[in-house]
Chain A
């Protein structure tokens, strides 16, 4: 059963053209900002960015979401997370090489983050507002986990080399009629992901504000601060 499912998602010959591999390489590079921008959306947004900043971040997020979805949907890169028994020997070699590359980078990044945190803490510099929120540590961890996935995808894409000759590509291109369907699906998913995250964030903030007004009454809300997903601290001005 599982074998036939993995067989369905095996890479096709068309994915080994120079252009397809180049697209994958660029997509993996452009997907690096995606987790950071998502974290920004959830944490730093409420700390006072101007509307124009929000627009710029939303556009950047849309572009990086498109790249991220392209990377996630790539059959070549998905092989990095398949069990060994469904892969052949060259795929296993690529998977292990990219896995160890991602591991080394993640350890290095985690060490640098820890070092910065320690230095910051011991020197006693003031902590920025966004870093002082309770969800910040979790967000950093989530970004690092996402990056582990993207770093591995990046390394895998760097290891791929074009295998097809020009005449073979021409022959295969004739048979690929689903190009526009795939393109539309990809753009649609990028919009859904970006707007979905934005809508979730907005509805979460609106919900907290509505609860504050309900508790304190209109015009009496002093502050609303959220902790994690389920805790909201409301301070009324008349308390």
Chain B
């Protein structure tokens, strides 16, 4: 059963944005929202609408579940450990 912790959708927007070398304003303009919405998303203070989530995933060219998740994302070291086990 899917349980959304603390009524929160986790995301990797900050990571994806900094990887691309974009400012919040650049990203906001690209997906047609205010920079504050991006800021709130990155801080985890706001859950995006489906439309915005799809727009962001499409903009970064990643599957939507790589950018958003109902569970906290694993850290890099946890991911490496999991890969080793496999």
A positions within 8 Å CB-CB of B? 10-11, 13, 16, 88-91, 93, 161, 163
CB pair A163–B39 under 8 Å, yes or no, is: yes
CB pair A89–B52 under 8 Å, yes or no, is: yes
Give, as a whole number of angstroms, the nearest-CB distance from B43 to chain A: 6
Interface residue stretch chosen among B4-12, B28-36, B64-72, B78-86: B28-36
A197 to B7, CA, bound (A): 48
B-side contacts of A90, CB under 8 Å = 33-34, 36-37, 40-41, 46
Most buried by B among A10, A11, A91, A163: A163
Task: Give the contacting residue for B48; candidates A10, A11, A89, A91; CB below 8 A.
Answer: A89
Binary interface encoding of chain B residues 16-48 relative to chain A, with 1 for a CB under 8 A from any of its CBs, else 0: 000000001100000011111101110101101
Most buried by A among B33, B36, B45: B36
Main secondary structure of the interface of B (DSSP, over half): helix
Main secondary structure of the interface of A (DSSP, over half): helix
Given known A-B contacts A13-B25, A161-B45, A89 and B39 have beta carbons under 8 A apart: no
Give, as a whole number of angstroms, the nearest-CB distance from B29 to chain A: 12
B-side contacts of A16, CB under 8 Å = 36, 39
A-side contacts of B43, CB under 8 Å = 161, 163
